Structure 1
Amino acid sequence: MSPTLIITKRELRSNFDTPIAYIVLCLTLPALAYAFFLRRGQNFFEINRASMTTLIELTSMLVVALSAILTMRVMADERRTGTLEMLITLPVKDYQVIIGKFLGTWFVVLAAIALTMLFPLMMFVWPWKLGNLDWGPVMSGYLGLVLQSAACVGIGMLVSSFTESQVIAFIVTAIILGFLHVTNYLIDSTDTQSIRVALDFVNFDSRITSLAQGLVTTRDILYFVSIAVLCLMGSFMALERRKWA
């Protein structure tokens, strides 16, 4: 088995050795069910159309929260306990450590995303069969969630690479991801065109909404992929710097 897969399995095991992953996964469906079916003015029955856009948008917020929670310990705790130093002295390349930890964390977020697929399946396939649903936008929306989750986990890993404190890693990651999620609401607060363009460009929410409506563009895909790749490169450089410090 390759070192990357070994580290991935180790990271998955460490996530499920603590109650955090179980608690978050168990709370995922009830929280989304409440927001999707019962939230006043915006629930599925009140909008009166067979659309999963609201579910995708709510799940996007879940991805932000879950990524911040899971990545706060992925590098920071290893630095604090000294196990990171032990890991990098083993016959394992640094990029394999980074990729393995990324995959082990990303898969947990993907599991939470997969759980939300129960909503459209139960409502339009079995047992409720409420009508015909255009699955194209649903699939493109979930593609967006997969890509967004990769970017969010990448950002969280990068932040975690520069601190030994899980609390600091969580707070900084939550601020960054929260900001990227709400920049569309800040556009009207400035008259400077360059700032407006920048806020629109970095926004997560508008891209997820477009994908949930079936508008798949290379621009949106490359945006999320680029963030994930650049953050993994940054994490690798941080690990290299610590190795030779």
Structure 2
Amino acid sequence: MLNIFKKEINGFLNSLIGYVVMGVFLTGIGLLMWVFPETSVLNYGFADMETLFSLGPYVFMFLIPAVTMRMFAEEQKTGTIELLLTKPLGAWEIILGKFFAGWALVALTLIPTALYYVSVYMLGSPAGNLDSAGIAGSYAGLLMLGGVFTAIGITASSLTENQIVAFISSAFACFALYSGFSSVSGMFTSGALNVERLGLLYHYNAIGRGLIDSRDLLYFASVIASALIVTRLRLASRLW
């Protein structure tokens, strides 16, 4: 698994892919937080990082599929996937190596946003007058959300040889799982059937309150595991 992880990370950092993803995310969020008047922190009248945590997931929906779309689709198209599967590597080693490499890139992208936190911290009146616990929880939620989107992207990439198809299907699946359940939850008024709880947005918001509940973490872990299991079944089908 470590060899696959290193290979993918080197592939990101030795090409424009990783830098473009990080640059687009940081530039986009930076413009939204500090420049555009509708979302600028400077126009809020109080210090918070709501712009990052409310709009960041939607930016991730497009950037993460752009990273993961080539992971298996390209290898299937070129025929190198069969060669990879015949090496002394288990299927799970290949899948987890690619998954953790993609997730690591998400984490690297979030690290520079610490500068945004420092800036907002200093803008508080008095300095430091912001909900640091809630921000820490939101960061944890955004990182877990990045893991889910990475797993979904890898699954989409394993199901097709076309990178564009992988990108579109992954972005759609991420959007549907993130906000789709919340959108249709109004159709159900019974408390016994809370459809909203099935979506990513509900659990992401719960973690963002600063109270990290094991049930929310278990939900994210379950979605990641389910997506990776589908990928494993897809790879197994190529060996039959």
Matched, 1:124 2:121: yes
Residues 92-126 of structure 1: CA deviation (Å, up to 9, x unaligned): 1111111111111111111112222220023326x
Q: For the residues of structure 1 that align with 2:74 and 2:18, how far apart are their CA atoms?
A: 16
CA displacement 1:116-147 (0-9 Å, x = unmatched): 2220023326xx67611332111111111111
What is the alpha-carbon distance in structure 1 between the residues aligned to residue 81 and residue 189 of structure 2?
Answer: 45
User: Secondary structure of 2:154's match?
Assistant: helix
Alignment deviations for residues 168-203 of structure 1 (CA, whole Å, 9 cap, x no partner): 111100111112232223433x357599732x1233
TM-score by length of 1: 0.87
Whether the 8 Å contact between 1:66 and 1:109 is mirrored in structure 2 is no
**Residue 239 (structure 2) aligned to one of 215, 234, 243:** 243
- The residue aligned with 1:146 is 143
Q: Does 1:185 align with 2:183?
A: yes
- For 2:192 and 2:16, the matched residues in 1 are separated by 42
Question: Residues 156, 50 of structure 1: CA spacing in aligned structure 2 closer, same or farther, 3 A cutoff?
Answer: same
Is the Cα–Cα contact under 8 Å of residues 161 and 239 in structure 1 kept in the other structure?
A: yes
Within 5 Å, give how 1:89-238 maps onto structure 2.
89-124=86-121, 131-132=127-128, 133-183=130-180, 184-188=182-186, 190-191=187-188, 193=190, 197-198=194-195, 200-238=196-234
Q: Relative to structure 1, is the Cα distance of residues 195 and 27 closer, same or farther in structure 2, using a 3 angstrom cutoff?
A: farther
Contact 1:53 1:209 in 2 (8 A): no
For 2:183, the aligned partner's letter is Y
Whether the aligned pair in 1 keeps the contact of 2:6 and 2:101 (CA below 8 Å) is: yes
Matches within 5 A, 1:18-37: 18-37=15-34
Unaligned stretches of 5+ in structure 2? Answer: none
For the structure 1 residues 10 and 145, does the alpha-carbon distance in structure 2 shift closer, same or farther, using more than 3 Å as the test? same
SS at match of 1:67: helix
CA distance in 1, matches of 2:29, 2:60: 12
Question: Which whole-Å CA distance do the structure 2 matches of 1:155 and 1:195 have between them?
Answer: 29
DSSP 3-state at the match of 1:117 = helix
In structure 2, the CA distance between the partners of 1:231 and 1:195, relative to structure 1 (3 Å rule), is: farther
Q: What value does the CA root-mean-square deviation take over the aligned residues?
A: 2.2
State percent identity of aligned pairs.
27
Change (3 A) 1:160 1:122: same
Q: 1:41 to 1:223 in 2, by over 3 A?
A: same
Is the Cα–Cα contact under 8 Å of residues 80 and 165 in structure 1 kept in the other structure?
yes
Q: Relative to structure 1, is the Cα distance of residues 221 and 96 closer, same or farther in structure 2, using a 3 angstrom cutoff?
A: same
TM-score under structure 2 length normalisation: 0.89
**Which structure 1 residue ranges, 4+ long, deviate > 4 Å from structure 2?**
191-196
| 169-178 or 227-236, which deviates more | 227-236
**2:228 partner amino acid:** L
Cα distance between partner residues in 2 of 1:226 and 1:112: 24
Aligned residues: 237
The alpha-carbon distance between structure 1 residues 123 and 47, as it changes in their structure 2 partners (threshold 3 A), is closer
